[in-house]
């Protein structure tokens, strides 16, 4: 009896010593070592299987199928519009024009391309044009209140940004003591959303764009919880994009009209960038604060700004390695004068 108690006591002491040693080593180990130890591991790495990606053929087939469905839906909407406004109306003609132009592409990633975006915090005036042009470009339904880009207004303290007191609903900008930080999908190199998805409906493409397969998404919203940037949005209601404002340039993994109960997010305008264009937010920015390009191309604008001005990322401690960079450029856009800026 006493022998077994002694054994129990020994085991308990051993466990205590183990816990104590673990605690000491946890405190003592350097942060960088800990970060490297805690490097996220994806299921595909553990199992040795390649990450899930649709093949080009499958995607092309899906795109063809989707285009047919969209055209069917679109022609129904055109009939409604023409009935409401009249056959000879501008609205009817516009809806018909957009509907006929619908093209769902499945352009694959180009070999050796690594897309990235950078934003000059000194230039950004917080005007929100990027956020609303993004809605137009990506056929985001207006009835669900979804906007992929959110612009934060945060107090500036020297070289630091006080994100604790950031807000979204400012009505006057730009202000002298504030900086404006648009936030959307960061297209991380270690995307936690991809690891969280139980049905592998989201993945990172070879060119760095993190995409969602809307047909496969089950709407569990695990990815939204996993994303440290709040970049994913859920369609609570049936999305009803307006045909009169429909963007006919579509990509099967990008801005095709979504169905209810799926998650959506920024794709760096995959329907434009894969074919040599630039994202809509870059095009609309009135101060040219956004820069987009291929990290592997030494002549690309993104390389130019990163080499010239350096960069920082949001929440580096999350270990996600974002491909969206922020930098402080050479000149600051002045604050708006009393009574608002120019139109």
Partner 1 sequence: MVSWVRLTVLLLLAAALYAPILAASSEGQEFYPCSQCHAALTVTGQSRSNEFHGIDLAEGAHGGLYCSNCHQAPQVDVLVGGVNISIPGLHPRDSLMDLNKVCSTCHADIYRDYQLHAHGNQTYTCSGGTAELVEGYKGVGYWFHICPEYRDLSVEPAKACVECHNPHDPTMPALSILPEPSDRPSPPDESSIALGGVVAVLAGLGIILWVAPIGKRGGEP
Q: Which is nearer to partner 1, 136 or 295 (CB)?
A: 136
Compute the distance between CA of residue 175 and CA of residue 337 in angstroms, rounded to an integer. 9
Asked if 262 and 214 touch (Cβ cutoff 8 Å), the reply is yes
* Shortest reach from residue 331's CB to partner 1, in Å: 8
* Shortest reach from residue 305's CB to partner 1, in Å: 5
Asked if 282 and 300 touch (Cβ cutoff 8 Å), the reply is no
Judged by DSSP in three states, 82 sits in helix
* Shortest reach from residue 299's CB to partner 1, in Å: 7
Q: Which is nearer to partner 1, 23 or 219 (CB)?
A: 219
Q: Which is nearer to partner 1, 228 or 301 (CB)?
A: 301
- Distance in angstroms between the alpha carbons of the first and the last residue of the chain: 89
Contact residues for 151 (Cβ-Cβ < 8 A; gap 6+):
124, 126, 128, 130, 131, 168, 180, 181, 182, 183
CA dihedral of residues 231, 111, 138, 133 (deg, nearest 10): 80
Q: How many CB atoms lie within 10 A of CB 265?
A: 22
* Shortest reach from residue 8's CB to partner 1, in Å: 35
CA dihedral of residues 297, 298, 302, 304 (deg, nearest 10): -170
Q: Which is nearer to partner 1, 196 or 336 (CB)?
A: 336
* Shortest reach from residue 170's CB to partner 1, in Å: 8
Q: Which is nearer to partner 1, 62 or 290 (CB)?
A: 290
Q: Which is nearer to partner 1, 39 or 337 (CB)?
A: 337
Q: How many residues does the chain have?
A: 343
* Shortest reach from residue 272's CB to partner 1, in Å: 7
* Residues near partner 1, by CB under 8 A: 101, 103, 105, 107, 125-129, 131-133, 135-137, 142, 144-147, 150-151, 168-174, 233-237, 245, 247-249, 271-272, 275-278, 280, 282-288, 290-291, 293, 299-302, 304-305, 333-337, 340-343
């Amino acid at each position: 009896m006493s022998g077994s108690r002694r054994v129990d006591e020994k085991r308990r002491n051993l466990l205590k010593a183990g816990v104590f040693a673990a605690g000491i080593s946890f405190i003592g180990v350097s942060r960088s070592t800990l970060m490297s130890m805690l490097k996220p591991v994806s299921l595909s790495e553990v199992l040795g299987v390649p990450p899930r990606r649709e093949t080009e053929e499958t995607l092309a087939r899906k795109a063809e199928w989707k285009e047919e469905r969209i055209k069917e839906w679109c022609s129904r909407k055109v009939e409604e519009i023409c009935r409401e406004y009249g056959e000879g109306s501008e609205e009817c003609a516009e809806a018909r024009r957009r509907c006929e132009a619908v093209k769902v592409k499945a352009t694959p990633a180009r070999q050796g391309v690594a897309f990235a975006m950078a934003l000059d915090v000194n230039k950004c005036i917080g005007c929100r044009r990027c956020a609303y042009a993004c809605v137009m470009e990506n056929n985001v339904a207006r009835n669900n209140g979804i906007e992929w880009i959110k612009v934060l207004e945060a107090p500036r303290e020297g070289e630091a940004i006080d994100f604790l007191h950031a807000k979204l609903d400012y009505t006057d900008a730009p202000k002298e003591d504030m900086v404006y930080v648009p936030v959307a999908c960061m297209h991380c190199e270690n995307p936690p959303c991809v690891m969280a998805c139980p049905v592998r409906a989201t993945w990172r493409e070879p060119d760095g764009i993190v995409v969602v397969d809307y047909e496969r998404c089950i709407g569990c919203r695990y990815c939204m919880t996993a994303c440290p940037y709040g970049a994913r949005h859920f369609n609570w209601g049936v999305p009803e994009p307006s045909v009169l404002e429909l963007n006919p340039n579509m990509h099967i993994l990008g801005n095709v009209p979504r169905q209810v109960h799926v998650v959506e997010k920024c794709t760096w305008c995959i329907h434009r960038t894969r074919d040599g264009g630039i994202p809509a937010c870059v095009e609309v920015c009135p101060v040219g604060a956004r820069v987009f390009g291929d990290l592997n191309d030494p002549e690309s604008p993104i390389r130019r700004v990163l080499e010239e001005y350096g960069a920082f990322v949001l929440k580096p401690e999350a270990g996600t390695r974002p491909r969206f960079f922020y930098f402080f450029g050479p000149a600051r856009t002045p604050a708006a004068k009393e009574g608002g800026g120019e139109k």
